[in-house]
Structure 1
Amino acid sequence: VASAERGLQLMARKAASAGEALDAARALQRSGADALLLLPPFDTVLSGSAAFRALGLAAASIATAAPLPDMFTVRIDNRAASRAMTERLIARGRRRIAIIAGPQDHSDSVERLLGCREALEAHGLDLAEDRVIEGRFTFESGLAAAERLLALAELPDAIVAANDDMAAAALWVAHRRGLSLPRDLAVTGFDDTLLATRVWPPLTTVRQPIDRMTARALDLLLDALRRRTDEPADVLEDYALVGRASD
């Protein structure tokens, strides 16, 4: 929608590796692309690469974790958001908090995990290694992670998931095991996708304003193309904790 509003044609490509990301960027350039809009982890994969720099394309990344030296970045403070969500759970009396982390080759996943750890450490709460499971941002990986967490001898009383899909999976596993939510287990997500309001109980989650971030990134790219400048800028958008019934 944001690209159409600006009279832009959006061409999309998928990649499964660093090499594929560079090949996709080259293919887009051959197809007439004037600029690149990137998502993690391909922003950090391409940033700093001589081959990427040789393309000479303006680039912007949305939802990344930190400023990058050779492209525009539009993001939230992932670490602060995750820390705030964990603080919310602690304030509600949760003490055995477990984490379904995102893939650690994604910079935003790393920051979200760090935010959880910082909040727990600040309150003197332990985070045993068996209470941290890495997922892949998919519902299926969330199922596997939640099965492991809810099979522990000492059950967690809260699960912080790094996105809504994995949080929804944790809810599903908890229901199947007969747990009462949120009395026995609180679950929180991240992103505030449509799924967050389509599960029971509806997910407490972090709202990341993807539409606004995308629009801002496109405006930065358009301005760079018009002015023929690629001076990098880092834009921080506000996040929000959206409280629903899952915690």
Structure 2
Amino acid sequence: MIERLLEIQKLNLASKIAKDNIFNSTLPIRVKVLAKKGGMKYLLQVGARMLETRSQRELEVGAKYFAMMKGGKAGNIILSSLIPEPKVSKSPLSLDFLESKELLSKNTFKEIAEFASEQLAHSKNKEEFLQWAFVLSGLQKGVLSLNIQEEEKKHYTQIKKRKNSLEFYALFSHLGSISGLIAPGTLDLSVMYPSVAKFLSENLEGMKWKGEVRIKVSNGEIEPLFFLQEQLLNLSI
């Protein structure tokens, strides 16, 4: 099951597509709202670029969104289907594919929690302390939060092991949020946009998946498996 999850991570080929055709991508693009101007116009950051466009809905300055983006006939940029990016807590665990496979295949969550406890005790600053505290709090609920690195990109991932299945949440820069359940012979995925469902369907053959695959488009936002609540942390493991 771990191998299947890592193969799904590798399907994030959208970054290559977006670089070639950033303003007419068939896949969602992550945008950050830098400033609001008059007449519902906003200054946005898309990758390393900044652009001005109009939105039919009120956007929060400083927030990040996923959106479909294309060029209009008048040369303007049109945004549609905006969905706020979940405000996930940072995880200090960052591993490449091979390291992720080794960690998740050989280590139990209890062993990972023991390692996180040691890192928490030796935190150099408040930010590092809070990040390891988040990891420990998630592990108390059976959820591991980490970043899986692919080349220069990091994909935020949460994993919850069940008896005969693996539940996960992943956040990609050009696919948005994806949640799923991997079980023997079945793969269930929930995505944010129809174009993402189509993209995954067309590329699942590369995973050599022999079981049943079900992909549905969520009607709303896809939430992470675990949020850090604004309350006193109980760090006993």
Structure number with the higher strand fraction is 2
Structure number with the higher helix fraction is 1
When normalised by structure 1's length, the TM-score is: 0.27
Question: Higher relative contact order by CA 8 Å / sep ≥ 6: 1 or 2?
Answer: 1
